[in-house]
């Protein structure tokens, strides 16, 4: 899976899955635009990439989104791959007064920012006959998640359908669009949303009694973004240690 001469933008590359993806792309020869808000963490990812451009930016800010695309073009001259990975959640249930705040912030990050980033990158992706990978979640497909994370589940369900529609829209332009849907992956996401539970506690909720490491998710993303997957578009890959097929009866 050589990505020599390829240019990838990875949003949310300052930690977790996005950092692993950026490092993996770089190891395969790609030039990578590393996007996130935390400068220290971005620098840590960059230090493990041979040819990277750090872009400190908030993807929910429209001007920042434009800057991400512009700076990538100014530095690398093209965009072959867009990984819409930045995401997270804030809690709020239908029974409490945090629901609309949770809805607004979660949708802004997990869905609206993806629309914005994608619309800005599409002209360049068409030119390069490139591809997009969106990072969704098994949360889009089940009601098993905590009731306070309803906005997250709905945002990812929207992202799934966005990916399918976009794949249809862009196929005639030679641009592939795919989605991956991880189950539990050991990253900072829990801590970032104030969840103090341990990742190990989630193992029994998977058929394989396991949780993933970010590098495993990066492997799948790289495959989908590579020429080896040239016939794959509009697909959505579950990688969840059997979370969704776990039997409780």
If we measure between CA atoms, which residue out of 101, 87, 110 comes closest to residue 15? 87
Q: For residue 55, state whether it binds ligand NDP (rule: CB under 6 A).
A: no
Q: Considering only the stretches 9-17, 116-124, 168-176, 231-239, report the one whose residues sit in contact with ligand NDP under the rule CB under 6 A.
A: 9-17
Six-digit token string for 71: 């700076």
Q: Is 41 in the site for ligand NDP (CB under 6 A)?
A: yes
Given 51, 60, 210, 239, the residue binding ligand NDP (CB under 6 A)? 60
Q: How far is the CB of 72 from ligand NDP (least distance, A)?
A: 14
- How many helices (DSSP H) and strands (DSSP E) are in the chain? 8, 7
* Given 34, 46, 184, 222, the residue binding ligand NDP (CB under 6 A): 184
- Choices 22-30, 31-39, 122-130, 143-151 (CB under 6 A): range interacting with ligand NDP: 31-39
Length of the chain in terms of residues written = 249
- Compute the distance between CA of residue 77 and CA of residue 15 in angstroms, rounded to an integer: 26
Angle between helices 16-27 and 39-46 (to 10 degrees): 30
**125 to 154, contacts with ligand NDP by CB under 6 A?**
135, 137
**Of these, 18, 92, 130, 163, which contacts ligand NDP (CB under 6 A)?**
18
- Which of these ranges, 30-38, 75-83, 121-129, 231-239, lies near ligand NDP under the rule CB under 6 A? 30-38
- Considering only 31, 85, 179, 233, the residue that binds ligand NDP (CB under 6 A) is 85
Cα gap 186→249, rounded to integer Å: 27
**Among 12, 92, 130, 158, which residue sits at the site for ligand NDP (rule: CB under 6 A)?**
12
Catalytic hit among 103, 124, 152, 248: 152
CB of 64 to ligand NDP, least distance (A): 8
Q: Under the criterion CB under 6 A, does residue 109 sit at the interface with ligand NDP?
A: yes
Among 192, 198, 209, 213, interactor with ligand NDP by CB under 6 A: 192
Other residues' Cβ atoms within 10 Å of the Cβ of residue 113: 23
Q: Is 124 a catalytic residue?
A: no
Q: Are 91 and 98 in contact (CB under 8 A)?
A: yes
Alpha helices in 55-98 (DSSP H): 62-76
State the number of CA atoms in the 13 A half-sphere of 125 facing the CB.
Answer: 28
CA 102 to chain centre: 19
Give the whole-angstrom CA distance, residue 55 versus residue 207: 39
Cα separation, 80 vs 17, whole angstroms: 19
Contact footprint for ligand NDP (CB under 6 A)? 11-18, 35-38, 41, 58-60, 85-88, 109, 135, 137, 182, 184-185, 187-189, 192
Cite the active site residues: 152
């Amino acid at each position: 899976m050589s990505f020599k001469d390829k240019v990838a933008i990875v949003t949310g590359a300052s930690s977790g899955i996005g950092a692993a993806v950026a490092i993996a792309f770089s190891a395969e020869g790609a030039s990578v635009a590393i996007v996130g808000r935390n400068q220290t963490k971005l620098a840590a990812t960059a230090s493990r990439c041979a040819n990277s451009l750090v872009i400190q930016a908030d993807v929910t800010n429209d001007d920042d989104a434009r800057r991400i695309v512009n700076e990538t073009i100014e530095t690398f001259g093209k965009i072959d791959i867009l990984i819409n990975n930045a995401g997270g959640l804030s809690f709020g249930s239908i029974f409490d007064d945090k629901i609309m705040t949770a809805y607004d912030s979660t949708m802004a990050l997990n869905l609206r920012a993806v629309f914005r980033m994608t619309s800005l990158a599409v002209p360049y992706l068409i030119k390069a006959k490139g591809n997009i990978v969106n990072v969704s979640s098994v949360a889009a497909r089940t009601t098993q998640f905590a009731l306070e994370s309803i906005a997250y589940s709905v945002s990812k369900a929207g992202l799934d359908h966005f990916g399918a529609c976009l794949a249809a829209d862009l196929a005639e332009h030679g641009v592939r669009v795919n989605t991956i849907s991880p189950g539990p992956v050991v990253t900072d996401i829990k801590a970032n949303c104030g969840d103090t539970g341990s990742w190990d506690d989630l193992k029994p909720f998977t058929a394989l009694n396991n949780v993933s490491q970010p590098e495993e998710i990066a492997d799948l993303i790289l495959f989908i973004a590579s020429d080896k997957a040239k016939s794959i578009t509009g697909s959505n890959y579950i990688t969840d240690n059997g979370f969704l097929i776990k039997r409780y009866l």
